[in-house]
Structures are given as structure tokens and as C-alpha cells.
Amino acid sequence: MSGTSTAAGPRRLRTQVAVVGAGPAGLVLANVLLRAGVGVAVVERRSRAEVERRARAGLVEHRVVEYLRAHGLADRLLAEGTRHGWCDFLCAGRLLRFDYGAQSGGIRHWVYPQQLLVRDLIADLGTAGHTPEFGLPATRVHVDGAGPARVECPGLDIECDYVVGCDGPHGITPQALPPDTAPRAELDERYPYDWLTLLAEVDRGVPGVVYAVHEDGFAGVMPRTSRIARLYLEIPAGDATARWTAARVHERLRTRLVGAGAAVPRLGRIMETGVLRMRSSVRQRFQHGRLFLAGDAAHVLTPSGAKGMNLAVADAADLADALIRRYRDGDETHLAGYTARRLPEVLRTRDLAAGFLDLLHPQGEHPADRRGELARRLERLRELAEPGAAGAAFAHWYVGAGPGLPVPRRAPHGTPHTMQSREPRESTP
């Protein structure tokens, strides 16, 4: 997008699909649409530098990688990411190796930091001819009434056929949905604990994820790069990061990770501290008229199982397919079925992530209760780690071995179908 505002009013832009938010959902959607010839405009309230260094998730499902690969969006991930097929559970002093790569029949997922994927997807968008408008928040969307949909930003008005809200749970697009789409009480859950999230220097790379289930609370260690690890520490719900000094964090980690041995490298400087408020919340519908929500804007899950980013890409893949059909065949039925297709998977994922979270968090007011819970957790973890039906089912879900994401049909000679599309047009009033 380019153009300048004039004294007469904001800059105007006409496109087919306006995407609000340049996280994984918005960027995957925009890339796939553009490559299929659908006109797209992306607005992102943060600067490019901010989104490219915002460290968050890091486990990318097998099916997501295959999808990105099919669209030519996975080159750096495949070159620089690492495949993972096992994790360790540390419970009641026992270290159990869960070889989920073997239990899933050889399918593994990838470790690749989300901000690097975001960086790559922005570069890929540039190659396809579009640069998102960074540092530009959408302030309002209009999807009701006749005429085109509209996204208002300071100094820019986008007119479009459809708006896709990829702006997370606190963005403006979820607020534009009617109240009957809000999460029902049973799908809006707040847990009695949070996770302190830390990025820490390490003396060597973390070889695999470690989930430590301890009566003092949960701790998790995740690989990121050869010098950096992501760590999680259970803390009471609502606790402020300021209460968690580096000394206290190190002390808690030492307590909870005792017995991990070589599974955890020596931890150095803590580079970043934040809190993940543990809640999950799923909207009843992800669509209202010409507004569609994808990723965290539609559903927030707890980080257990690392499914947030993967579901965001799966939403984007589904929506891209539906929009491409709409422009290729003029058929809107697939678009209308978006919620009906996505909601069951989101709910299933939410349930499995909640079950996994429960496994990692023995609760109980008294230490004796917690020790009893810990013994039960150890049994369940053993059952997972040993070859068998429970381990295999979990392994398939964890690596994302399920059905592939919809890849748009290709023309016989291998190029995508040409859309009967209007190119994005720009005009100033």
C-alpha cells in the first residue's frame, strides 16, 4: 500500500480482503491469498521491528510446516529450524522420556521461534508485492449494511469485500461482533495459576522440552536457540512479575528441576520476564457478515501443548481456501461454513490442552494432597511414555499429525488458478 493523505481527508484504498493484525494468522492468510491473486491489505498497529522481535511460541506442527512448505513459505524454517520428536517429563524425582516421534509413527514437529516465522512471512509478503502498513492501528470496522466493508485507521480508510480480524483477543475486530458470539461461560475459563515466562541465556542448547511436575508447582524448559531457552514457572494467578526477582526465579527453578540432570543446561542471565495469564476462551461464532476472525481473536488457549500459533495458521488456511473458492468460483457457501468447520477442531484442541494442563498441575491445598496428586500424575505420565494407545493418541495430536490443512487446488500445469479478481486499487478522494 502506498499513497498519502490529503487535506481533503484520509487516504482511501480499495481491496478485496483487509486483514487486521500481522501475527501468524494474518501473515499466512495474506501470503496465501496474494499468491492466489486475491487483493489484500494488511494493517498492523505495532512497528515491523516490534513484531519481528516479539518472542512467543516456538513449536510448529508437522501439518503446519507441510502447509507452509506447499506455499513456498517454509524455506528458512526448514533450513534453520530443528525437528523434535521427544520430551522429558520430570515428576516426583523421576525423569521419563516420551518418544512421541516414535509413537506417532515417525512424524515430528519443529522448533522455530514465532518471531522468526513472522519475520520470514513479512519478507515473503514483500516478495509477493505487499508490505503491511506497520504502526497503523485499525480503529473501527464497518461490516453491517449495504456497500463495501470498511476498516478505518488514522489517515487511512480501506474499502473491501471482507475483513479478517487477526488482531488477537484484545483487538478491535472481536468487539465488532454481536454479543451472541461471545464465549459461553463454560468456554471462558480462568485457571487458579499463571505461568511466568522467561527467556534466559543457557550455556548450551536445550536438547528437548522438559515438563517438570512438582509439588512446589510446574516448571517448563523449552528449546529456542543454542544460547537461549524459554522457561515457564507456575505462579499464583494474578501475581505481578515484579515479585519475581531473578534470584527468586533461579531458586524456584532449581527446586522444581531437581533430578533433570543433563536435560537442563546451566541457566544464565534472564533476558525477559512476562506472565501468561492462564485462561482459555472460545467464541461461539467466528464470523459476522463479512467479518471473519482467525487465531487468538477467535479463541485463546492456554499454552500447554503449544497449539495457539498452530490453530491460528490452521484458521488462516481454512479461510484462505474459502476466500479463494469465493473469488475463483463465485461460491460463498464455503465461507459461510467457516465457523462450523473450525469450531469442532478448536474445541477438541481446547479440551486436550486442558487435559494436558491438568496433568502438569497437581493441585491441592496441603502438601500431602499435592503429593497424592503427584503420584497419580506419575502413573498417567508413565502410561503416556510407554508405547501404547494413550501415548500414540497424544503423540499424534502433539506433533500435528492429523489431516493436512487445505491447500488450494492447482491448475494442471502446477500454477495456482488465476482468480477472477479485481487488483487492489488505490484512490485518493
Residues forming contacts to ligand APR in the complex (CB under 6 A) are 20-26, 43-46, 51, 56-57, 114, 137-138, 166-168, 171-172, 295-296, 308-309, 312
CB 122 → ligand APR: shortest distance, Å? 11
CB 413 → ligand APR: shortest distance, Å? 33
CB 287 → ligand APR: shortest distance, Å? 16
Q: How many residues does the chain have?
A: 429
CB 230 → ligand APR: shortest distance, Å? 11
Q: Is 392 helix (H, G, I), strand (E, B) or coil?
A: helix
Nearer to ligand APR, 104 or 280 (CB): 280
Contacts by 152-156, CB closer than 8 A, 24 or more apart: 152/10, 153/10, 153/43, 154/10, 155/5, 155/10, 155/11, 156/1, 156/5, 156/10, 156/11, 156/12, 156/13, 156/43
Nearer to ligand APR, 71 or 370 (CB): 71
Number of H helices, E strands in the chain: 12, 23
Distance, CA of 14 to CA of 1 (rounded, Å): 10
CB 368 → ligand APR: shortest distance, Å? 35
Cell of 351: 479440551
Nearer to ligand APR, 87 or 118 (CB): 118
Distance, CA of 355 to CA of 345 (rounded, Å): 15
CB 137 → ligand APR: shortest distance, Å? 4
Q: Is 200 helix (H, G, I), strand (E, B) or coil?
A: strand
CB 304 → ligand APR: shortest distance, Å? 11
SS3 content of the chain, % helix, strand, coil (to 5): 35, 25, 40
Q: Which amino acid is at 176?
A: A
Nearer to ligand APR, 57 or 291 (CB): 57
Nearer to ligand APR, 295 or 362 (CB): 295
Give the E-state strand segments of 261-300 in sequence order: 267-276, 279-282, 287-288, 291-293, 299-300
Nearer to ligand APR, 119 or 382 (CB): 119
Nearer to ligand APR, 90 or 163 (CB): 163
Distance, CA of 193 to CA of 363 (rounded, Å): 10
Q: At what angle do helices 367-385 and 338-360 cross, to 10 degrees?
A: 120
Distance, CA of 404 to CA of 155 (rounded, Å): 41
Nearer to ligand APR, 315 or 321 (CB): 315
CB 102 → ligand APR: shortest distance, Å? 27
